Amino acid sequence: MKKLKIFIALVFTVLFLVWGGVRISNSLSFYLNCEAYLKRAATANTVEMAKPELAKAIEYAEENNLTSGIVSIFLKNPMNDIGFWYENMKASYEELDKIADDATALEKTNVLMKLRESLTDRDEGGGTKIVFPNGISVYPNNILYFCWGLISIIGMSVFWVVGLFGVFAKKSKSNEK
């Protein structure tokens, strides 16, 4: 029975580690294919540099159906509205696209400043971070990933405690004899 409990604990541990690996993989994919391009667009010095970077992020969002919905599971936080985030990127691109080649340096700078303000926000440390809905890297499977993570960590914790407690309980019983 003790071996079965430890085996089940190992299964839940593996499930949890796989969950973590998949989440890291999804986050990395989102970073490389979208977030990094948003950062490059936000920090671009010219409209000509910003447009293709923002276009790549928009293309990724469209290819991965990240154009509407909300990533929140319990509380419908407006910060997690994918539709707003996507429409904001599209509107920013349209602003860049409207700038004429013969626009003044001031006009171009103003559009680039507006782009930066649209794509970034301040983080807790006072630095700048790219704005996107939390959990977007696993959308539309947020509930699945939440349940997977929750079940695996609870199962892992319970069976390790039960398995190890069972081992300690038997050792203390044998010491009493």
List pLDDT tens digits, range 79-97.
Answer: 999 999 999 999 999 999 9
pLDDT bracket for residue 3 (50, 70, 90): confident
Residue 121, classified by CB atoms within 10 Å of its CB into exposed (0-12), middle (13-18) or buried (19+), is exposed
Whether 133 contacts 85, CB under 8 Å: yes
Name the residue among 1, 18, 10 with its Cα closest to residue 160.
10
Query: At residue 177, does pLDDT exceed 60?
Result: no
